[in-house]
């Protein structure tokens, strides 16, 4: 492999990219769009869930309970009703996700020191939000119950009863449990897969479709020189997109890199190399720009989104699906991103994921070169 010929191919491909300004614009605009879309729209935090209440008690005690829901950042009361039909209609129309029913004897039982029940109804059609909302509503109910108990004991002159076990919660590495801190690192993997699929999957196929491949074959150019020369400009664009994603994550979503940023970029370069050569391999095999681009996006984007642990926890998947996730390179890269971003750990812990990424990149390079050498002969 001669560097001069390789750089000549890289220069040729760079000129083509500059002339095709639409593709260049998309390669830089798509990361921005994806980061904005995922960063703002995809959130797992519970905020401002609409709630309706049927207060059958109309007492000071029931109004105090309502005020606790109103003062919570997790709920807002969108309306009150005086029948199950009204609650049902609100949930059916989507104006409420949770409904609270306070019984008529609520205040009477509280004053008598008896146990009373409050019914919580959730919209099961939105299972995740409803589950979280009902859990938060139950927690607010427990807080209200503890306040009532403490007040009753104070009136009776009793001292505060010591709890035999007190659970103290603390989250490491993401103390506020912000979903953006988890989502933003994963978006980098999504961006890299989409960009790599979009760019390199059409390179070789374009040469076949335009009839210029025969001219390249007739030159002293070697297969690896052509492949690596074509990948170099797209590698530079991909690393630019990584830097853009990191900066947007820090400035827009306030997600700093706790660990070694240089290590992150090095391993991102390894993952990008594997993704680029996967797109190159499809372009070589299929010889169709449209088909190669579509398959590259589907085979890269969907597994990264669904099977990498980016959104859905791998531990909650069925065992056969968990086994399949080991074949998804983004699984290891997202683990690396979150480890460096949030935990600040290095290769002493992430070495296995890094080795598997290098193995993935090496296999993709070998596949692309082997297949293309066969086509040149």
Sequence-distant (≥ 6) Cβ neighbours of residue 17 within 8 angstroms: 23, 24, 233, 234, 237
More confident of the two residues 220 and 102: 102
* Angle subtended at Cα 183 by Cα 179 and Cα 186, rounded to the nearest 5 degrees: 160
* Angle subtended at Cα 301 by Cα 295 and Cα 302, rounded to the nearest 5 degrees: 90
pLDDT tens figures, 125-161: 877 788 888 888 888 888 888 888 777 777 666 555 5
Sequence-distant (≥ 6) Cβ neighbours of residue 185 within 8 angstroms: 249, 255, 334, 337, 338, 341, 342
Specify the CATH number of the domain 49-155: 3.40.1710.10
* Angle subtended at Cα 196 by Cα 191 and Cα 202, rounded to the nearest 5 degrees: 140
Rounded to a whole number of angstroms, the distance between the first and last alpha carbons of the chain is: 17
CA–CA dist 79, 156 (Å, integer)? 37
In the chain, where are the structural domains located? 8-42+178-376, 49-155
CA–CA dist 325, 327 (Å, integer)? 5
pLDDT of residue 330: 92
pLDDT tens figures, 5-47: 778 888 888 887 778 777 777 778 888 888 888 887 777 667 7
């Amino acid at each position: 492999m001669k560097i001069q010929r390789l750089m000549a191919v890289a220069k040729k491909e760079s000129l083509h990219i500059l002339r095709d300004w639409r593709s260049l614009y998309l390669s830089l605009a798509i990361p921005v769009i994806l980061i904005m879309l995922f960063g703002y729209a995809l959130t797992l935090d519970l905020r401002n869930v609409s709630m309706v209440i049927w207060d059958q008690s109309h007492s000071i005690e029931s109004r105090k309970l309502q005020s606790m829901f109103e003062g919570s950042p997790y709920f807002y009361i969108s309306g009150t009703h005086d029948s199950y039909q009204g609650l049902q209609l609100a949930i059916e129309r989507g104006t409420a996700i949770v409904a609270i029913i306070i019984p008529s004897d609520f205040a009477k039982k509280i004053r008598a020191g008896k146990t009373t029940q409050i019914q919580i109804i959730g919209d099961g059609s939105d299972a995740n939000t409803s589950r979280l909302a009902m859990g938060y509503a139950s927690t607010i109910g427990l807080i209200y119950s503890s306040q009532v108990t403490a007040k009753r004991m104070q009136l009776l002159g009793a001292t505060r009863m010591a709890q035999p076990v007190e659970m103290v919660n603390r989250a490491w590495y993401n103390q506020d449990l912000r979903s953006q801190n988890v989502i933003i690192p994963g978006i980098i993997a999504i961006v890299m897969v989409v960009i790599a699929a979009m760019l390199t999957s059409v390179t070789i196929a374009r040469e076949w479709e335009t009839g210029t491949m025969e001219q390249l074959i007739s030159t002293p150019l070697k297969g690896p020189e052509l492949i690596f020369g074509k990948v170099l400009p797209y590698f530079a664009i991909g690393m630019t997109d990584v830097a853009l994603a990191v900066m947007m994550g820090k400035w827009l979503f306030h997600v700093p890199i706790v660990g070694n940023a240089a290590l992150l970029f090095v391993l991102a370069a390894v993952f990008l190399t594997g993704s680029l050569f996967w797109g190159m391999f499809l372009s070589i095999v299929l010889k169709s720009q449209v088909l190669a681009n579509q398959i590259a996006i589907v085979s890269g984007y969907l597994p990264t989104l669904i099977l990498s642990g980016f959104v859905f926890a791998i531990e909650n998947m069925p065992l056969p699906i968990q086994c399949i996730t080991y074949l998804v390179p983004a699984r290891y890269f997202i683990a690396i991103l979150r480890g460096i971003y949030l935990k600040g750990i290095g290769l002493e812990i992430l070495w296995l994921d890094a080795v598997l990424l290098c193995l993935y990149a090496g296999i993709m390079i070998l596949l692309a070169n082997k297949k293309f050498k066969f086509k040149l002969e």
